[in-house]
Structure 1
Amino acid sequence: MAVRPPSDSIVVRRARQHDYRTPAASQALLSPPAERAEMPQRQPLRTQGAGGSARVAEPPMRVFGRRVRTFESFRDSAFRWFFVSTLAQMYSAIGQMFVRTFLVYELTESYAAVGLVALVSGIVQFLLGPYGGVLADRFPKKTVTQVFQFVGLLNAFVIGTLAIMGILEFWHLLISSVSQGILVALMVPARQAMVSEIVPPERIMNGVALNTAAMNMMQFGAPLIGGVLLATAGAGVTFFSMAGCYAVAILTMLPIPAVSAQAGRGRGGVREAFRDIGDGFRYIARHRVLRMILLLAFFISMLGTPFQGLLPGFVQDAFDAGPALAALFMTFSAIGAFLAALIIASLRRSGRGKLLILMGVFLGGSILGMAISPWIWLSLPIMILMGIGQSGRMAMASALIQEQAEPAYRGRAMSVLMMQFAVMQGGVFVLGIVAELVGIRLAVFVVAIMLLGALALFGLFSPTLRRLQ
């Protein structure tokens, strides 16, 4: 007669430890050898990989016997390369925005000029953003990303050369802002949508959150490094460092496998491209969840994010300080953003619609706090809360859209989400004009109240978001 193993045997301990097994497989481990041989063998769970290929699902990542969700996407080598590329690219992109804003204010001493530079970039992003989604759906996203990373390299190199020669002027920075707007509009939808091709479906939220964490690391790293370089080595060296990081971003994309476009290559040029854009907007209009997520994202971008575009000028006006304090403020904001991204990477898939609204409330409340805070020591922790709200709502919106949208429309859906950056740039321009008229603190106070009011309406009258899991 077969004897079952005692409860403290290695078989039982291993069965309890590896709870990713199905109940049938766990029972097989506890059964006598004779019974075990008659049981059907457990088939490995298969998930969809890059390009739709099937691959065997891996057991959950564990540390000291406990499941850890936070870093699961790092098990894919392609995602690790993608993460490094994100770090390099975001240093260049965020660093340029920060340094360019400071240089414009230094040259003109005008919030309106800072707002104008943001506005022209926003207009370009708004007009070209939908076409960026078409590129992402028609062509391999990796190729689209690398082409426009090279455009970013050239942009930074030219501005650095002009600065070294001592002939950098306001209109040069204006053209540079337009170039970066083109880059963002045509590249970012493809790059953001790559996450869902690199990681399996069950890790999309985790992958998006970790990618957001990389971006947030540069939210404090890029201004800090850029501010120090600007103060010690000058604008030329600062922009050359950004050009070099764009080169790193291009090279670290090479090991990532290219995936064929889901929608196939378009034919017929511009006419078919406009038809694809129309198809994308109609798809979003019919999809209630996508429609509500994007509408909320646009309201937050219009009212909640312009403050950060005027932060260097706000620091000079409100606290009589220079780029070092502005970089410190952005560093604290990015610390909160980084923490929020890691927390979201660990979350289960439940209550995410309510969490999306809550992140907006964090952002609006922190902007209100900055408008009334008279002390630097109080403003620093408020910036952490601002980072939590900004990062949390971006990661949640991006993950939910990539999960909800069909693969053939994913690039176009992401391009509409990325158009919020154009709305943000327009908001910077409007906020800059209002700040010139009534003062920066009062202008920021008003937009914070408007944002909190809009979020209250979404929470009360949008059951689609409240019920979204």
Structure 2
Amino acid sequence: MFSSLSVRNYRLFLIGQIVSNIGTWAQSTAQDWLVLSLTGSATAVGVTVALQSLPMLCFGLYGGVFVDRWNKRRTLLATQAWLALTALTLATLIFSGEVQVWHVWLAAFVVGLTTVVDNPARQAFVSEIVDNSQLQNAVSLDAANFQFARLLGPALAGVMLASTNAGTAFLLNGLSFVAPLAGLMLMRASELHCVERTSRTKGQLREVLRYVAGRSDLLWTLVLVGLVGTFGFNFPVYLSAFADDVFHTGVGSYSLFNTMMGVGSLAGALIAARRGSAVKRVVVGSAFAFGATEVVASAAPSQWLFTLFTALIGLFGVTINVTANTCVQTGTAPAMRGRVMALYMVVFLGSSPIGAPMAGWIADAYGARVALAVGGGISAAAAIGIGFVLSRASRPRQGADGFGNHPDAQSVQH
């Protein structure tokens, strides 16, 4: 389960990410509740999520081109420092009492612009820290640390919101970036599996699109991830609306929902870390289970039952992410990995500008239960449809894993 921790550079990377992710989750929880407090609107929360994700949708592929051209370690040093500065700036506005919702929206957009480069760089950098035999384990542990932070971050945010204000959470996040910055600087460059950087040429965006279009295993995985991300992963909207409008229990319940989702997500990530390899059957099956659980959770008659369902949603959700992430990384040629992972982040995170405002509008107009049921139903239907397409596409092929994963997936034909 923890084999990749034998690599010193990965230990430094993981420790830094754990500390930073705790701050990120604390800020995310505080940010959603701050917007809801300032506006009283679930739609405004959806707009915040959309603004943070919009840059990924618009510029994500350009971020992947940049990542393939430049040193990923130095790139991460720059992006992590900028994220820290953004959090500290908003903390100052909150403590001064001058914060307005447009400040939060602007900060969310700036964070989104930074993650256009930061996310694909972090995803692709893992494959330079460990070798391919350890990649599934490293990706799973990275997801597990993110979910472990999800346990602590919302809980800390709940305490801070109850005792002080949202500014404390933003301050915590800003200071937490010291850990990943220190970890990156302490890494031994000689032990990294550096990939030859791509030279600056024309047509590099078209090249990655042609590459993915010619690989049905990558293409349909990305389509499924995009549909589930668009309609099912709007948790800031769903959970804040259930806490505020359905159960009328406030920020304490919202923090509890996030924490329990983190419990399930951590369990799912650790289970994935024990799995020897990633296959499409797991991606499709977990996507269906994720959607079906959201539909059932939407009808939960009591808060305690809904809280239990959030843990299951977290478990299936992180299984989709970890398994799809690993399938895409291990099935992509190293020279294309930054751009393909940028495309992965575009369809997964960049879908929020479409899904989050839509989910917020449904929640405001028809209620949180209907919004969650619609998102889950679409996710489950997408899993059934794409699973059927993948199973039919793989029938004529020999040597695949049952869903079109050929053993020679690392090869590239130009």
TM-score (normalizing by structure 1) = 0.81
Matched, 1:321 2:249: yes
Matched, 1:198 2:133: no
Q: Which residue, 155, 158, 163 being the options, matches 1:224?
A: 155
Report the alpha carbon displacement of residue 265 of structure 1 after superposing the two structures with TM. Answer: 5.7
Q: Which residue, 245, 253, 258 being the options, matches 1:330?
A: 258
Report the alpha carbon displacement of residue 157 of structure 1 after superposing the two structures with TM. Answer: 0.4
Higher RCO (Cα < 8 Å, 6 or more apart): 2
Q: Which residue, 358, 361, 364 being the options, matches 1:430?
A: 358
Give the 3-state SS of the residue equivalent to 1:455 in structure 2. helix
Q: Which residue, 158, 174, 185 being the options, matches 2:105?
A: 174
CA distance in 2, matches of 1:275, 1:96: 38
Matched, 1:80 2:11: yes
Matched, 1:264 2:197: yes
Report the alpha carbon displacement of residue 466 of structure 1 after superposing the two structures with TM. Answer: 4.5
Question: 1:80-119 maps to which residues of 2 (within 5 A)?
Answer: 80-119=11-50
- CA gap of 1:434–1:167, structure 2 versus 1, over 3 A, is same
| 1:143-186 deviation per Cα after TM superposition (whole angstroms, max 9, x unaligned) | 11111111110111001101111111111001011011112211
CA contact (8 A) 2:228 2:287 kept: yes
Question: 1:5-404 maps to which residues of 2 (within 5 A)?
Answer: 70-258=1-189, 262-264=195-197, 266-267=199-200, 272=201, 275-349=203-277, 352-404=279-331
CA distance in 2, matches of 1:450, 1:284: 24
Runs of 4+ residues deviating >3 angstroms = 257-263, 307-310
CA contact (8 A) 2:71 2:197 kept: no
CA distance in 2, matches of 1:321, 1:185: 36
CA contact (8 A) 2:289 2:380 kept: no
Q: Please say which of residues 155-164 and 216-225 is displaced more in the overlay.
A: 216-225
* Percent identity between the two aligned chains: 25
CA distance in 1, matches of 2:198, 2:207: 15
CA contact (8 A) 2:23 2:169 kept: no
| 1:351-409 deviation per Cα after TM superposition (whole angstroms, max 9, x unaligned) | x2111111112211221122100211111221111011111010001111110000000
Q: Please say which of residues 452-461 and 136-145 is displaced more in the overlay.
A: 452-461
Matched, 1:459 2:387: yes
The runs of 5 or more residues in structure 1 that have no matched partner are 1-69
Report the alpha carbon displacement of residue 260 of structure 1 after superposing the two structures with TM. Answer: 8.2
CA contact (8 A) 1:139 1:260 kept: no
CA contact (8 A) 2:195 2:335 kept: yes
Report the alpha carbon displacement of residue 468 of structure 1 after superposing the two structures with TM. Answer: 5.0
CA distance in 1, matches of 2:259, 2:55: 28
CA contact (8 A) 1:128 1:186 kept: no
Aligned equivalent of 2:409: none
Aligned equivalent of 2:378: 450
Amino acid at match of 1:179: V
Report the alpha carbon displacement of residue 209 of structure 1 after superposing the two structures with TM. Answer: 0.4
CA distance in 1, matches of 2:257, 2:402: 33
TM-score (normalizing by structure 2) = 0.91
CA contact (8 A) 1:122 1:426 kept: no
